[in-house]
Amino acid sequence: MIQGACLCGAVSWQFKGHPDGATACNCTACRRYGVLWAYDYVDEGITTSGTTRAYVRGTALEFHFCPDCGCVAFWRGLHKDEHGRIRIAVNLRLAMPEAVAQIPIDHFDGLGTFEDLPRDGKCVADYWF
């Protein structure tokens, strides 16, 4: 299990298991937030705690952040899938570095093609510095 928390500790999340990758997206929101995402479903692979504020973007998702320190903690889908689940992604930058350092980076072109790009061999540790 991987855990993450905002700077002040008021908002936290838990990721059960180990993510296959950490997504770096270049969409207009993610590039501004500087986040690395790990995905699953609400209350299945990911649980969250604490009071957040949300920025609702379009009709698909909402970005949740701590109202005290401002850290972006996760995004959550606005609609259930065909199995009644809601997609969620946590910001791996809120985890302890050693817990996520070796997770490979996946690149997603959310700005242009809306497609996954090939891995380049980098992992989260390469993004810390």
- Domains of the chain, earliest start first: 2-128 (2.170.150.70)
Report the distance separating Cα 124 and Cα 40, nearest Å: 18
Stretch 62-75: mean pLDDT, rounded?
A: 98
Residue 14, both tokens: 């838990």
State the pTM of this model. 0.94
Which 3 state secondary structure label does DSSP give 57? Answer: strand
| pLDDT of 82 above 90 | yes
Report the distance separating Cα 113 and Cα 117, nearest Å: 10
| pLDDT of 116 above 80 | yes
Confidence of residue 128 (pLDDT cuts 50, 70, 90): confident
